[in-house]
Amino acid sequence: MPIVSMKELLESGVHFGHRTQKWNPYMEEYIFAARNDIHIIDLQQTVQALEEAYEVVRDTVAGGGSILFVGTKRQAQDIIKKNAEKVGMPYVIGRWLGGTLTNWQTIRERIHELERLEGMRDRGEFEIRTKKEALGMTREIERLESRLGGIREMDGIPSLLFAVDVSREEIPVHEANLLKIPVVAMVDTNCSPKQIDYVIPANDDAIRGIQLIVSIIAQAVSDGINMRKDHEADLEAADAEAQMPEQLRDELSDEDLLGASTLAKIKDDKAVELDQEKEVEESDDTPAEENEKEESGDTPAEESEKEEPGDVPAEENEKEESGDTPAEESEKEEPGDVPAEENEKEESGDTPAEESEKEEPGDAPAEESEKEESGDAPAEENKEEDTEKA
């Protein structure tokens, strides 16, 4: 994951360079294009340069080194001071004194003079002196504090130097090059990157851009300090473990010996290794059933029935081979055949009485047929006919 996004750089105005008339030809490889006679810096290279500078600063501080922040221009003074004091590193925001690095012994003597005068003031020795002498000493303290206040805690030559404006901080960059101190700097389109070891192409005039990049460098310093503390804690635990008896040494666990951040890193590394192993197993190994199916080409009974609907079960195959089918299936398959009783009736020509009556609706009942054949009417009808005739 990148330490800074392109969106944050765009919002901070890091991509704006100087006018095309004031450009430095050595910065051509870091320029993306020109818009309205203003050069646009390639932010992709800025992101890569920030990541590289971040790793360098973090590893240097983790190894016990220090970094000197330099920003004497007005836009960067408060930002440099705030971030440097936050991480406990030396800084210079006033006038750079010539020889601060190359003539460090003399600068160190002036720092001791500042500490001596402050001690006299704190002890109340200014009150026993004349007013003119006390005023002169007070002014000397203020002058030294403004020039050397940021580097009074610096024990020696720093391991790295960070500068905001290369053209303005030409003297400190030159001194760092003489002492072979690596330089990390924000380089605008009007500056030369030849004397810079780790170039960060960016706009060195925008306050938001300076704030963003300086905060990233300060974060790298903070991470390096934490790594150094963890390493020192691990060394102390290892020394303590080496001095302990073997019985107690076996009883102690990693949680007792290692720091919290080291344990968290170990857990994260184990989790990443497990995830990678799972991905490799899923990608390389397939289920055993699928492998057997692919090798043999045989499918289970259910799949074979679904894939080959034309095949019938084994029982039906046997029945088809033998030619014998059950009675119920033969009736369903041969609807034209009638049961055995009906076949006998059809052969004999005899049908039940009820069926013959229903099939021959034109035939009358037995009594009516007798009356029709004999031509005799009922007795009552004959009497009525005789009376009518009389």
Instruction: Spell out the domains of the chain, with CATH numbers in brackets.
Output: 6-101+157-228 (3.40.50.10490)
Distance set, CA 204 to CA 13, 90, 196, 213, 226 (Å) = 10, 21, 15, 10, 29
And the tokens for 155? Answer: 């024990």
Q: What is the torsion angle, in degrees rounded to the nearest 10, for the CA atoms of residue 50, residue 53, residue 58 and residue 61?
A: -140
Whether pLDDT at 142 is above 70: yes
- Among 107, 191, 105, 199, which Cα is nearest to 151's? 107
In single-letter form, the type of residue at position 60 comes to T
HSE-CB of 206 using CA atoms within 13 angstroms: 19
Tens digit of pLDDT for each residue in 12-23?
A: 999 999 888 889
Backbone angles phi, psi at 97, to 5 degrees: -80, 125
- Helices in 309-378 by DSSP H: which ranges? 314-322, 327-333, 340-348, 353-359, 366-374
Residues 3, 225: Cα–Cα separation, whole Å = 18
Element (H, E) at 95: none
| Angle separating helix axes 260-284 and 207-243, nearest 10 degrees | 100
Tens digit of pLDDT for each residue in 33-58?
A: 989 889 999 999 999 999 999 999 99
And the tokens for 251? Answer: 């009883």
**Residue 330 CB partners (closer than 8 Å, separation 6+):** 337
Q: Strands 31-35 and 67-70, how do they pair?
A: unpaired
Tens digit of pLDDT for each residue in 147-194?
A: 999 999 998 999 999 999 999 999 999 999 999 999 999 999 999 999
pTM higher than 0.75:
no
Residues 95, 214: Cα–Cα separation, whole Å = 20
- In contact, 199 and 187? CB cutoff 8 Å: yes
Give the mean pLDDT of 252-276. Answer: 74
Tell me the average pLDDT of the chain.
77
Query: Among 211-220, 225-234, 235-244, whose mean pLDDT is lowest?
Result: 235-244
In single-letter form, the type of residue at position 307 comes to E
210/234: higher pLDDT: 210
How many residues does this entry show for the chain? 390
Residues 370, 332: Cα–Cα separation, whole Å = 46
